[in-house]
Structure 1
Amino acid sequence: MSSRGFKGKKIVIYPSYLDCTSSRTHGRKIPKSLCVQKPSISEILEVAKGLSLNPILEDKEFPKKWWEIKQRVIVDKRWGKIETLKRICIAINDMRKKGKKE
């Protein structure tokens, strides 16, 4: 499914958007101070559900790495794209910290 049908209603999230190991030219959208090291699709889905963003999982290649078939998550647009990505990163970092303490 094309993401053009989601314009203004949904946000498409590739793991590269949140990944500290990716450079800005390779797709990272948020500052390194907030990003997550190698976020998994399952973490993104779990956090998006927790934020009530109604996530949908889709198999689709990331445009900057079109030769790699990866997955992406499509979520409801409640905030702007960057704000949504920041909230997801903060929640993943919190989830990882809680996992280490237990």
Structure 2
Amino acid sequence: MKAIIWPVYLDSKKTKGEGRRISKDSAVTSPKLREISKAAEKLGMKPKIENSKAYPKSWWELSGRVVVDRNMPKREILLKISNLIKSSRS
């Protein structure tokens, strides 16, 4: 099974209404596709970056997305990826 991860899901600058899926404390500032992909790779999820995609709520903005193999609940995936991005930044 696949899961789609939009950068907005992990972005601490976005509101829940704009698409953030995890708490502000768990989220990271402006996550990049490459960071999400690297974190997903560390978790063994075979990430595939799709640059030319736009998050439906902000269709005018080509943010891109990462498609991963889903091996746990989506919220857990988002939290683990966010934590890996935080640790790689510090």
- What residue ranges of structure 2 are gaps of 5+ in the alignment? none
Q: Distance in 2 between the 1:30 and 1:92 partners?
A: 14
Q: Distance in 1 between the 2:62 and 2:84 partners?
A: 26
Give the TM-score of the pair, scaled to structure 1.
0.84
- 1:68 correspondence with 2:61: yes
Q: Which has the higher strand share?
A: 1
The amino acid of 1:50's aligned partner reads K
Larger radius of gyration between Structure 1 and Structure 2: 1
- 1:33 correspondence with 2:25: yes
Q: Which moved more, 1:11-20 or 1:65-74?
A: 65-74
Runs of 4+ residues deviating >3 angstroms:
none
Partner of 2:87: 94
Q: Once the 2 structures are TM-superposed, how far is the Cα of residue 70 of structure 1 from its aligned partner?
A: 2.3
Provide the alpha-carbon RMSD of the alignment: 0.7
- What residue ranges of structure 1 are gaps of 5+ in the alignment? 1-8, 98-102
Partner of 1:21: 13
Give the TM-score of the pair, scaled to structure 2.
0.95
Q: Once the 2 structures are TM-superposed, how far is the Cα of residue 14 of structure 1 from its aligned partner?
A: 0.5
Q: Distance in 2 between the 1:61 and 1:36 partners?
A: 20
Tell me how many residue pairs correspond in the alignment.
89
For residues 5-57 of structure 1, the C-alpha deviation after alignment (integer angstroms, 9 at most, x for no partner) is: xxxx1110000000000000001000011100111111111111111110011
Higher relative CO (Cα under 8 Å, sequence separation at least 6) belongs to 2
